[in-house]
Amino acid sequence: MALLAESHTLAWLVLLCRRMNTATPIVPPLAPAVPDGPSSGLVRTVYRFTASSSDPLGHGVKCRFYWGDGTMSDWTVPGPGGAPHTLAHVWTKPGRYTVCAQAKNTAGVQSSWGPALLVKIEENGAGKNRREGPAERVG
């Protein structure tokens, strides 16, 4: 119910700005939810993660991921709001990593970072990949 009221308020604000011949308000896309992907795996293995977001003003949206190891992906190609954005990552050291996503609309406005998925990466042979899914061995 609150989302509906927020949507109507936003639509009213956009209409008001257009009638007053002023710029459309700067509104960020929604922060992505927890990325979808494995919560455990092995070093030197490719794992894919998916996130999505939507934009209150209907702009296209792209996403990027923070991998928890000090690296961040490039932005994905823009897509319609709600479309999935999937990128892959390989960890080279065992450890616990937090993977989270951020959205950016085609107007250039960024969301806050979404909540993180905790991923435990182990040495080869130290554990099993506990989640079936798209994974590829590297090297």
pLDDT of residue 98: 98
Low-confidence residues in the chain, pLDDT < 70: 1-24, 125-139
Q: Measuring CA to CA, how many Å separate 108 from each of 1, 79, 120?
A: 28, 14, 33
Among residues 93, 91, 97, 13, the alpha carbon closest in space to that of 57 is found at 13
Q: Where are the domains of the chain?
A: 27-137
pLDDT of residue 124: 85
Answer yes or no: are the C-beta atoms of 135 and 43 closer than 8 Å.
Answer: no
pLDDT of residue 89: 98
pLDDT of residue 18: 59
DSSP letters spanning 4-29: HHHHHHHHHHHHHHHHTT-PPP--PP
CATH 2.60.40.10 for the 27-137 domain, yes or no: yes
pLDDT of residue 25: 72
